[in-house]
Amino acid sequence: MKRIGVLTSGGDSPGMNAAVRAVVRTAIYSGMEVAGIYRGYSGLMNGEIVDMTLGSVADIIQRGGTILYTARCEEFKTPDGQKQGLERLKQAGIEGLVVIGGDGSFHGAQALHNLGFPTIGVPGTIDNDIPCCDTTIGFDTAVNTAIDAIDKIRDTATSHERTYVVQVMGRNAGDIALYAGLAGGAESILIPEVPYKIEEVIQKLDRGVSRGKKHSIIVVAEGAGNGMEIGQYLSEHTGFDVRVTVLGHIQRGGPPSSTDRILASQLGSHAVNLLREGISGKMAGTQNGVLSAVDFDTVFTTPRKPDERLYGLSSILSI
Ligand code: ADP
Ligand code: F6P
């Protein structure tokens, strides 16, 4: 393989730039050329393809976002869109592709693989919702951002003796809520994977009050309910002074943590090496800290669960 491409797709995540850097530098180190494809599959279909050099990825390891831009592209879900993308890759002389993104982006990579084009996926999403890998690039940074916000909210919650509902991202996964809630000492953590009753949340708040607790923080994963509605319900059905904070896209930005930079560097490099070995249709990840390559089909069909041990621990510690 003489020339490969790299793109970022779906929601951006801190560390994507470090992964792009690792792809470009490993490929050049190995004697290959690298092309960057702008705006995910949308840019691929439009032929937005530029040559990358060692200098193209200088000074980006510490930057959030993605210098290749990212996009969501409905047209690429169609056979015609995929064929157009394949044509663009061939016209640009690209022989293999690294796709950095989430589960949806991997479906696009799988489609190209099924058309006979070599692809490797690198898990990049703050949601940590991809099975068969330890963590996704960006998750650690997003959790730290959420913890930083929860710590600050706790200061004002304490001063005003209030109850705060903090809604975090994660799409259908509760990992950001679970990790940030556990590390931030939340009184309740609501995640989509574990059904809850709002009455039980209220009972827990009441138990805290009877022990002399003056403030509480409830962390809600966006997939577990609407923070505003939960806050409204608590206001109307309890005597607590309730405020709601929706953290939103702040969780997607900022400099990547050292954990994310190192993970991204490892996985970007690993993805290039897999392509060089003639491997395709797989996700480059780590499992129990060891580099791995897992078939997209396995990734798509393996159910993903939150860490039940951590969830149990969070319940014990927030008794
Ligand atoms: P993420 O990769 O973060 O999960 P999305 O689900 O939005 O984000 O997917 C990103 C992009 O991947 C989509 O906009 C589309 O271009 C492509 N994609 C998603 N699903 C498919 C599919 N089934 N077939 C082909 N391409 C897909
Ligand atoms: O997948 C990352 C993510 O930030 C999710 O946590 C969230 O549900 C979604 O993307 C938000 O998407 P958008 O940036 O299109 O609002």
Please give the CATH topology (third level) of the domain spanning 3-138+256-301.
Rossmann fold (3.40.50)
Interval 249-273: pLDDT, tens: 999 999 999 999 999 999 999 999 9
List Cβ neighbours of 101 (8 Å cut-off, separation of 6 or more). 8, 9, 10, 40, 70, 121, 122, 124, 125
CA distances from 218 to 84, 131, 153, 265, 271 (A): 47, 27, 11, 35, 39
> 119 has which bridge partners?
97
Q: For residue range 268-300, list pLDDT tens digits in order.
A: 999 999 999 999 999 999 999 999 999 999 999
Query: Is there a catalytic annotation at residue 127?
Result: yes
Using 70 as the pLDDT threshold, list the residues of the chain that sit under it.
none
Boundaries of every domain in the chain = 3-138+256-301, 140-253
Give distance in angstroms: CA of 168 to centre of ligand 1: 22
**Which atom of ligand 1 lies at the shortest distance from residue 103's CA?**
4
Residue type, 154: R
The alpha carbon of 202 and the centre of ligand 2 are apart by a number of angstroms equal to 29
Pairing of strands 33-37, 49-52: antiparallel
- At residue 221, the pLDDT reads 98
Residues sharing a CB contact under 8 Å with residue 59, sequence separation 6 or more, in sequence order: none
Q: Which helix (H) or strand (E) holds 217?
A: strand 216-221
CA nearest to 177, candidates 208, 207, 142, 205: 142
Decide if 3-138+256-301 and 140-253 have a common fold: yes
In CATH, 140-253 is 3.40.710.10: no
The ligand 2 site (C-beta within 6 Å) comprises 11, 102, 125-127, 169-171, 222, 252
Is the distance from the beta carbon of residue 76 to the nearest atom of ligand 1 less than 6 Å? yes
Q: Are 34 and 52 in contact (CB under 8 A)?
A: yes
